[in-house]
Structure 1
Amino acid sequence: MKKALLIVSILIILVFILHLVAPKHYQVERKIVVSTQIDTVFKSLCSLKEQQMWSPWAEMDPNMKVEYRGVDGQIGSVSHWVGNDDVGEGEQEVTKIEGNTYIETELRFLKPFESTSVGFLKLKEVDNQTEVTWGFYGENKFPTTIIMLFMNIDKQIGPDFEKGLAKFKTYIEK
């Protein structure tokens, strides 16, 4: 009995220590420059419906069901998706728009697990072109903190962002 209690105590302490040293926040972002005026780029990126034209996740599940609520391109507009195991189920709601340079969304992942992140698109005029930064960030909560010790979210999600931005470049420059 004492041995079992000692083992359980050590495991609890180990989990606590892992939680203390684990990353509490995450952020992933990628950039691309497109040869299109910032106003045109901004209008396109604000539209949740138009985002489906270049979303890497739409390609992962061509049968994904997407529904929209609210006025597309405005604060409060929502896209809700249900797809296969690769894309799961979730919602994206536009929560902030600043001029023609910044769009922020709340990403609510519902399946296969629940979590919330902040997505963003930043635009900057560069020599008559537009630099687009796409990213997301959030907070790791227990027990996700421990899982993140063994996972590199940047390496997992970053390539999807790169693929999406490349598709967006092709889409917006045509």
Structure 2
Amino acid sequence: MKILKKVLLVLVILIALIAVIGLMLPREARVERTTTINASPASIYEEVNNLERANSWSPWFQIDPEGTVYTFTGPSSGVGNKMEWNSDHPDVKQGSQEIIEAIPNQKTRSVMYFSEGGDEPAYAEIILQEEANGTLVTWTFEADMGGNPINRIFGMMMDTFIGPYYEKGLASLKTRAESKPVFSIEIIKMDTEPINYLAIRETFDATKPEDIGPRMEEIYTQLIGFINKNGVMGMGQPMSVYLNYNETGYEADIAIPVADASGVTDETILIGQTTGGKAVRGVHMGDYHKLDDTHKQLQAYIQFNNLEANGEGYEVYVTDPTLADTAQWRTDVYYPIK
């Protein structure tokens, strides 16, 4: 009995000692890591202000990419962009992250909830500071460990647990940002509705660009005449749907959107529909002769972001080409994606 009493006494003393030490430790746990990336703040901000895109460099995504289910809600980026995850992997488990503050090209702040953390939130910030040799990126983690002394002791070890993940994530972000293609056009991901259209299919010789414009004008004149004659209701700006494309030429449906093409039976007129759903859109401003560069940038964007095509790309000619100032000509280029 004396031995048992001594053991119990030692345990009580140890528990009391842990409680005292724990209560003396800081309530707030904080982790911080930095790196310098040879890229602009704006370019890096695009990678951190979109939680779906952030998975391309997140160290936690790499742990269980096949077994984790991700759900994204809210806007595609910025405040309200939210990600929830669910995994059986012990290093991933379940949780959520939502952007609650977004200062363009400067900072994002997110709130996070973890399955093992109950209702207590944690916060992460990514701060971007432009420097002479690039951008200083600071990634922080903060959590309130409460009054429980055991939690406070755990908080003291947070840097050891999370720090290596932050270092790995920043290294991946650096690699991604420094290898990122430079895009001179506005590119966004968006949801689109399928477009019904009437068209005439034509093959164009890319080595004779001077013939393309006049031939497209002839086709549009023919289509408009057909639509007016047959009482078909047009539904938007003229467009082209690209079916086959290479360096020497391309085949395309030169088209006009319509409300309903079900009654069209003319063999010279094709009935088509674009692929609805997710798409990337690039805005081309200027002469049509430089549209090839816009297509190449969109294709590079799709490849860089590991997106998968889901149908034929198409151009919508937003601006009337009779406008004298060609710099004001706007063409929206769409590539459907999965």
Q: TM-score, normalised by structure 2?
A: 0.46
In structure 1, the gaps of 5 or more residues are: none
1:69 correspondence with 2:73 = yes
* Equivalent residues of 1:28, 1:136 under 8 A apart: yes
Matches of 1:128 and 1:9 in 2, distance apart? 57
**Structure 2 counterparts to residues 72-111 of structure 1, below 5 A:** 72-83=76-87, 84-111=89-116
Q: TM-score, normalised by structure 1?
A: 0.86
* Equivalent residues of 1:37, 1:128 under 8 A apart: no
Residues 156, 78 of structure 1: alpha-carbon distance in 2 compared, 3 angstrom cutoff = same
* 2:20 corresponds to: 17
Return structure 1 stretches of 4+ with deviation > 3 angstroms: 6-16
1:154 correspondence with 2:171 = no
Q: Which has the higher contact order (CA 8 A, sep 6+)?
A: 1
* Equivalent residues of 2:37, 2:136 under 8 A apart: yes
RMSD: 2.2
Q: Give the percent of matched residue pairs that are identical in Structure 1 and Structure 2.
A: 30
Deviations 1:44-68 (A, max 9, x none): 2101011100111111112211110
* 1:154 partner SS: helix
Range with greater deviation from structure 2 (137-146 or 40-49):
137-146
Matches of 1:12 and 1:166 in 2, distance apart? 41
Deviations 1:116-138 (A, max 9, x none): 21100000001151111111111
Deviations 1:111-170 (A, max 9, x none): 4x434211000000011511111111111121412444xx52112211110101111111
In the alignment of these two chains, the number of paired residues is 168
Cα offset, 1:42, TM superposition: 0.9
* Equivalent residues of 2:128, 2:138 under 8 A apart: yes
* Equivalent residues of 2:45, 2:104 under 8 A apart: no
Cα offset, 1:19, TM superposition: 3.2
Matches of 2:162 and 2:154 in 1, distance apart? 16
In structure 2, the gaps of 5 or more residues are: 180-338
Structure with the greater alpha carbon radius of gyration: 2
1:44 correspondence with 2:51 = no
Residue type of the alignment partner of 1:167: S
* 1:145 corresponds to: 152
